[in-house]
Amino acid sequence: MNDSLKIGITCYPSLGGSGVVATELGKLLAERGHQVHFITHNIPFRLGSTFQKNIHYHEVDVNDYYVFRYPPYDLSLASKMAQVANMQQLDLLHVHYAVPHAICAYLAKQMAPHLKVVTTLHGTDITVLAQDESLKDMIRFAINQSDAVTAVSSDLIRETRELLDITREVDLTYNFVDKRVYYPRDCSQLRSDFAFPHEKILMHISNFRPVKRVTDVIETFARVHESVPSRLMLVGEGPDMPKVQCKIREMGLEDRVHFLGKQDEIAQVISLADVLLLPSEKESFGLVALEAMACGVPTIGSEAGGIPELISHRETGYLAPIGDTDLMAQYAIELLSNDELAAKMREACLHRARNVFCNDLITQKYEEIYYRVLGKTVTPFERATCEL
């Protein structure tokens, strides 16, 4: 690294794709010699508690002064951002989500004028919050006041421009996976705990919210099992879980479905599967499909949001209209009934994950954005390559 930076990162530290990407990016930047300072209300769950070189954590304490009806987290965060920026002489803040993080970064910049702000849009700050007229002006302001803005898919950029009348440049920076973590695992022994040798395994991983359409997963699986002996593995927890359990009972599939709950070792879990199902109604990117792809597992997904940018139809998976469980089942049967096709698709998944979405390429792109907003001239990078 010929010109290391001091970078503050703020994200939601709990479970969620944006928190995963932000934390993994911070770890990768630290490996490349940058000083990374996480500024959040809790330690990001992917960060862990062990010491890591070049990584620092700054906890946001919220004032509970009795006149406040609600704890003023946004003000506490902005104050902490400015404090860390001045104390550590940060070069920039990289905030994930426009609201509230980019607004807080704007306030921090008024107290630390040297600071630059990079904002990454992950999805719900646009697809959900920007639909609220009371928040629309604030989100637009946060985006326009950032020194650089990135988004995780072209579809999200399109929606941002349409909803908020944004004309400024937005950098497309896809989500990524670390090739050292996400790769095909040998799960032959573990697999026997869930399925017989002649059975296939379908999998769904999500937070089980309505937008994920998990009942579509059950319907698709039921149709597949009629033609191909199969098992379904459901990974995660969420508000729609009772509805999903009722659907499984109604269809008499209790002995065919395994509930794994929340899992940390996702690469190990995904490697058990023959296919991943992602029938979401909205999905700005679809990180779990990328994690599956990197493990050699094709995805059958909906034509929603950024999923078509991730999955190459009939090459690394299949795409179907939202709610078309018959077509999704047809695609799954086509794949699971043809070992030669499955092997070919598996190799295509690995190639695409390593050459388009790997950690080295995306981390390098973020670095280029950082140097650009700072007006720094650096020696051009040797182009990263991610093939193993």
pLDDT (0 to 100) of residue 381: 52
Report if residue 381 sits inside a domain: no
Please check whether residue 380 lies inside any domain of the structure.
no
For the cut 80, the answer to whether the pLDDT of residue 65 exceeds it is: no
Q: Which helix (H) or strand (E) holds 43?
A: none
Higher pLDDT, 383 or 118: 118
User: Are 78 and 140 contained in the same domain?
Assistant: yes
Residue 78 included in any domain: yes
Please give the pLDDT value at position 44.
Answer: 83
Distance CA 246, CA 171 (A): 43
Q: Which CATH number covers residue 366?
A: 3.40.50.2000
Q: Of 46-50, 128-132, 140-144, 261-265, which gets the smallest average pLDDT?
A: 128-132
Domain identity same for 35 and 138: yes
* Residues above pLDDT 90, as percent of the chain: 80
State yes or no: pLDDT of 380 exceeds 90: no
Q: Are residues 82 and 210 in the same domain?
A: no
Q: Are residues 166 and 82 in the same domain?
A: yes
The amino acid at residue 311 is: I
Interval 327-378: pLDDT, tens: 999 999 999 999 999 999 999 999 999 999 999 999 999 999 999 999 987 6
Contact indicator for 40, 59 with CB cutoff of 8 Å: yes
- 289 and 330 assigned to the same domain: yes
Residue 227, pLDDT > 90, answer: yes
Q: Assess if residue 109 is contained within a domain.
A: yes
Kindly calculate the radius of gyration of the chain based on its CA atoms and give it in whole angstroms. 22
Residue 388 lies in a domain: no
What is the model's pLDDT at position 2?
56
When pLDDT is cut at 50, 70 and 90, the band that residue 209 belongs to is: very high
Beta bridge partner(s), residue 8 = 37, 93
For 168-175, what is the mean pLDDT?
96
Q: Please name the residue that has the structure tokens 């607004």.
A: 103
149 and 212 share one domain? no
Average pLDDT over residues 273-289: 96
Question: Would residue 365 count as lying in a domain?
Answer: yes
Contact, 218 vs 254, CB < 8 A? Answer: no
pLDDT given at position 386:
60
Q: What b-and-e string marks burial along 19-43, b requiring 16 or more CB atoms within 10 Å of the CB? A: bbbbbbbbbbbbbeebbbbbbbbee
Which DSSP category does 100 fall into?
I
Residue 287: HSE in the Cβ half-sphere, 13 Å Cα cutoff? 22
Helices (H) and strands (E) in the chain, counts: 15, 13
- Same domain? 203 vs 340: yes
**Domains held by the chain: number:** 2
Instruction: Report the chain's mean pLDDT, rounded to a whole number.
Output: 92
pLDDT value at 384 more than 60: no
- Residue 268 belongs to some domain of the structure: yes
Please enumerate, as own/partner, the contacts of 311-316 that have beta carbons within 8 Å and a separation of 24 or more.
311/286, 312/348, 312/352, 315/345, 315/348, 315/352, 316/345, 316/348, 316/349, 316/352
- Identify whether residues 294 and 278 lie together within a single domain: yes
The confidence band for 67, taking pLDDT boundaries of 50, 70 and 90, is: confident
Residue 93: which H helix or E strand, with range?
strand 92-96
Give residue-wise pLDDT tens across range 190-207.
Answer: 999 999 999 999 999 999
- Domain assignment present for 107: yes
d(CA 102, CA 241): 33
Query: Are 142 and 223 within one domain?
Result: no
* Terminal Cα-to-Cα distance of the chain (whole angstroms): 22
Is 93 a residue whose pLDDT tops 70?
yes
pLDDT average, residue stretch 234-241: 96
pLDDT score of 13: 84
pLDDT of residue 1: 47
Is residue 248 scored above 90 in pLDDT? Answer: yes
* Parent domain of 370: 6-176+358-374
Q: What DSSP character marks residue 356?
A: H
Residue 69 is predicted with a pLDDT of 75
Cis peptide before 44 (omega within 30 of 0): no
Task: Answer yes or no: do 199 and 347 share one domain.
Answer: yes
316-322 long-range CB contacts below 8 Å, 24 or more apart? Answer: 316/345, 316/348, 316/349, 316/352, 317/276, 317/289, 317/293, 317/345, 317/349, 320/279, 322/213, 322/279, 322/280, 322/281
pLDDT of residue 52: 84
pLDDT (0 to 100) of residue 205: 97
Residue 133 has pLDDT above 90, yes or no: no
Global pTM reads 0.92
Same domain, 365 and 308: no
Q: CA 83, CA 157: separation in Å to the nearest integer? A: 32
Looking at the structure, do residues 345 and 362 belong to the same domain, yes or no? Answer: no
State yes or no: pLDDT of 56 exceeds 70. yes
Alpha carbon separation from 230 to 248, 255, 266, 328, 342 (Å, rounded) = 14, 11, 21, 15, 15
